[in-house]
Amino acid sequence: MKALEEKILNEGTVLPGNILKVGSFLNHQIDVDFIMEMGVEIARLFKNDGVNKILTIETSGIPIAVAAAAAMHVPMVFAKKNRTGNISGDTYKTVVHSYTHGVDYNVVVAKEYLSRDDRVLIIDDFLANGKAIFGLIDIVTQAGAEVVGACAAIEKGFQHGGDSLRADGVRVESLAIIDSMEDGQIVFRR
Amino acid sequence: MKALEEKILNEGTVLPGNILKVGSFLNHQIDVDFIMEMGVEIARLFKNDGVNKILTIETSGIPIAVAAAAAMHVPMVFAKKNRTGNISGDTYKTVVHSYTHGVDYNVVVAKEYLSRDDRVLIIDDFLANGKAIFGLIDIVTQAGAEVVGACAAIEKGFQHGGDSLRADGVRVESLAIIDSMEDGQIVFRR
């Protein structure tokens, strides 16, 4: 998505440790008019796939998931993270390792909000090593539902989570794919 | 908002401890078409107030804040919670006590996303004792910005946070106000 690439170049900052800071529009301050356009683009990409539910993971996947769900007129579910192990109620559960924070999270979705009739599009703001999306796929699979695909706003191609997902047969659409950020220079995949 | 009251009656469940479960449409699964309507209603309520930024707090305030921001065509900022005390960068910061979880959270917003030119509408899914909204008001005040008002999807009137805010001169608009939930019977304020 050309407009997103331009926005990343104009507003993004590359920080040490391969961190791309996009807090001005994507994950702290949200340029809502812009993410609604991203939602329309996601709806276009998956318009023939019978998606009837969108799944994301708290926190920063939520705005873009809302935008896509608004454009597709389907409900959205966000998986909840907790570190405590104390989870009440009847849930699907998986464990995701956060590379950024160096901890394992329990990730849960209440069973009542995912069923075998669901055709699920998984959405997140970033796709890096893919651990979060693999965890969400595990949850969808536990529910007997179908993963239609996964869509990230920004894929860090050099961290290879997208490659692993595609190698597993998952349809992955990322609105922008960054192949390298060496020396602060952002190079997009063509 | 009549449609919200009906939705609460149809889909909400009262659990022990004055908990209203609305996970089917507001804070776990999100009925996005419905929250977009709520956003339009919030935009109507504050249409003459020159709002140029919406502020909420992670996590469950985010969807309704996105919906309102989409209807008002303004950016949204979500304050971040953490329990660690390790906060990097230049931030406005306050402490909010969570009654539900029995812990104090640091709540932070990067200084670059709030300024003295901002006219801020604070949004959250629930307003109960008001601690979260008072915390966000503290952050807006630190930035030298103006609090135009606060809007919750559901106010638990019997927990009196809304009363305290109004007594402090804050304009509070809640889309539904519950005056009591005794014996599982939901009574709305007229």
pLDDT score recorded for residue A175: 98
Could you write out the three-class secondary structure of A29-69?
EECHHHHHHHHHHHHHHCCCCCCCEEEEECCCCHHHHHHHH
Do residues B164 and B28 touch, judged by C-beta distance below 8 A?
no
Dist CA A138 CA B11 (whole Å): 28
Task: Tell me what the mean pLDDT of segment B167-182 comes to.
Answer: 97
Nearest to B63 by CA among B27, B97, B37: B27
B99 pLDDT tier (thresholds 50, 70, 90): confident
Query: Whole-prediction pTM value?
Result: 0.96
Nearest CA in chain B to A112: B24
Q: Are strands B91-98 and A172-180 parallel, antiparallel or unpaired?
A: unpaired
Calculate how close chain B gets to A78, using CA atoms only, in Å: 6
B85 has a pLDDT exceeding 60: no
A153 has a pLDDT exceeding 90: yes
Amino acid at A61: G
Q: What are phi and psi of B17, to 5 degrees?
A: 85, 25
Least confident of A67-81, B72-86, B141-155: B72-86
Give the residue from A30, A56, A59, A60 with the most B CB atoms within 10 Å of its CB, the best one to mutate.
Answer: A30
Do residues B81 and B106 touch, judged by C-beta distance below 8 A?
yes
Q: How remote is the C-alpha of A110 from its chain's centroid?
A: 19
Task: Tell me what the mean pLDDT of segment B90-116 comes to.
Answer: 92
pLDDT score recorded for residue B98: 83
Angle at B42 between CA B41 and CA B44, to 5 degrees: 65
Mean pLDDT is highest, among A72-86, B73-87, B95-109, B170-184, for B170-184
pLDDT score recorded for residue A101: 78
Least confident of A126-135, B11-20, B69-78: B11-20
Do residues A156 and A126 touch, judged by C-beta distance below 8 A?
yes
A58 pLDDT tier (thresholds 50, 70, 90): very high
pLDDT score recorded for residue A88: 64
Q: How remote is the C-alpha of B77 from its chain's centroid?
A: 12
A158 has a pLDDT exceeding 90: yes
Residue A24 in contact with partner chain B when CB distance is under 8 A: yes
Look-up of token digits 């109507």 = B44
Task: Tell me what the mean pLDDT of segment B91-109 comes to.
Answer: 90
Nearest to B55 by CA among B75, B81, B31: B75
B72 has a pLDDT exceeding 60: yes
- Chain A hits for B67, CB-CB cut-off 8 Å, are 66, 70
A12-16 long-range contacts (CB < 8 A, ≥24 apart) are A12/A186, A14/A181, A14/A184, A14/A185, A14/A186
A87 pLDDT tier (thresholds 50, 70, 90): low
Calculate how close chain B gets to A129, using CA atoms only, in Å: 23
A89 has a pLDDT exceeding 90: no
A126 pLDDT tier (thresholds 50, 70, 90): very high
Q: Report the share of chain B in percent with pLDDT over 90.
A: 89
B158 pLDDT tier (thresholds 50, 70, 90): very high
Q: How far apart are the first and last CA of chain B?
A: 11
Render pLDDT for A5-49 as a digit per residue (tens, 0 to 9): 999 999 999 998 889 999 999 999 999 999 999 999 999 999 999
Least confident of A95-99, B63-67, B158-162: A95-99
Do residues B62 and B56 touch, judged by C-beta distance below 8 A?
yes
A99 has a pLDDT exceeding 80: no
Which of the pair, A89 or A84, is modelled with greater confidence?
Answer: A89
A100 has a pLDDT exceeding 80: no
pLDDT score recorded for residue B2: 96
- Chain A hits for B31, CB-CB cut-off 8 Å, are 75
Residue B121 in contact with partner chain A when CB distance is under 8 A: no
B107 has a pLDDT exceeding 70: yes
Residue A35 in contact with partner chain B when CB distance is under 8 A: yes
Task: Tell me what the mean pLDDT of segment A108-131 comes to.
Answer: 97
Do residues A75 and A54 touch, judged by C-beta distance below 8 A?
yes
